[in-house]
Structure 1
Amino acid sequence: MAVIAQAKVETLPEPWSGEISSGKHQLITDKPESFGGQDKGLAPYDLICSGLISCTMITLRMYAQHKGIELGAFRVEADFCANKEGEEWISRRVHFENQLGAELEQKVLDICSKTPVTKTLLRSLDIHTSLI
């Protein structure tokens, strides 16, 4: 077994707020005001989207560097969506400042479908919880 990521969260005095730490990095998590929080940080589903889009950006840049391709500046956005039937999905969008050719556009779409976080989200994942 290899641990590829680690994080912990500690409660803060305000309802729903917590301080997340991972390695030497810290950030605040909270719920929006509409859910009783103070909206001081990313909500849990925001963090899922953030993990996906950061992995997408890094993977595309690594691919471009490896292949000697200039992608130029771009951004990746994601929305976590749900409907009344209980279905959930993520809508991911990649916006490039430079126009890409049709072949490179298809390659970018293929790469996006194979990023590590995409693969993790698409397959079942066991979560083991223990009290310590």
Structure 2
Amino acid sequence: MSERVVIHQKSNFDTDIRSLDPHMPGSTDLHKVKHIADLTPYGMLLSSLGSCTAVVVHTYAQYHGLKLDEVEVTAEYQRTFKQDCEDCTEIDEYKEQITMEINFLGGLTAQEREKLFKVSKQCPIHKMLKSGIDVKSRMADAYNQS
């Protein structure tokens, strides 16, 4: 199982998100995301990670006067099962991985590009995913039940 999104973010924070169409299984063409329903839950996570990464990088570049015009982030989620299976939805043994490729567009030196790459890892979503996060849910108290 895999999912992929591509985020283009300009220096004015104008953001374009493209993903595989969740309504067309097997399609390899990316389409522009216009509504949240255009994304799967995995696509939402990847879009959040990629957009957060781009914002962090652009903010740093602007603060330090770097000539960064656009950030392009390609993020891919991959789930690999440890054994062959007919219906892999019932198997709990698998490895999950997110890979990101970040492209910095603009008049940047190699040293500035390297610094921006290091800064990209400061995205809060990147940090949460990397370290893991405990999610605790509870049902809200019912009010005005009729």
Q: TM-score range by the shorter chain?
A: 0.5 to 0.7
1:72 aligns with 2:80: no
Distance 1:103 1:88 in 2: 32
> What residue number does 2:44 align with?
47
Deviation at 1:99, TM superposition (A): 5.7
Deviation at 1:68, TM superposition (A): 1.0
What is the CA RMSD across the aligned residues, in angstroms?
Answer: 2.2
> What residue number does 1:23 align with?
none
Structure 1 runs not aligned, ≥5 long = 1-29
> What residue number does 2:89 align with?
none
1:97 aligns with 2:94: no
Tell me: CA distance 1:99–1:83, structure 2 relative to 1, closer, same or farther (3 Å). farther
Distance 1:66 1:107 in 2: 13
Higher-RCO chain (CA-CA 8 Å, sequence separation at least 6): 2
TM-score by length of 1: 0.66
Tell me: CA distance 1:80–1:97, structure 2 relative to 1, closer, same or farther (3 Å). same
Amino acid of the structure 2 residue aligned with 1:101:
T
**Equivalent position to 2:124, from 110, 116, 121:** 116
Tell me: CA distance 1:72–1:33, structure 2 relative to 1, closer, same or farther (3 Å). closer
> What residue number does 1:127 align with?
135
Identity %: 26
Matched positions, count: 99
Question: 1:85-118, CA deviations, whole angstroms, 9 ceiling, x for partnerless residues?
Answer: 3111111111233363221121122111221110
Distance 1:93 1:112 in 2: 11
Amino acid of the structure 1 residue aligned with 2:65:
G
Deviation at 1:31, TM superposition (A): 5.0
The question of whether the paired residues in 1 share the 8 Å contact of 2:74 and 2:102 is answered with: yes
Whose strand fraction is larger, Structure 1's or Structure 2's?
2
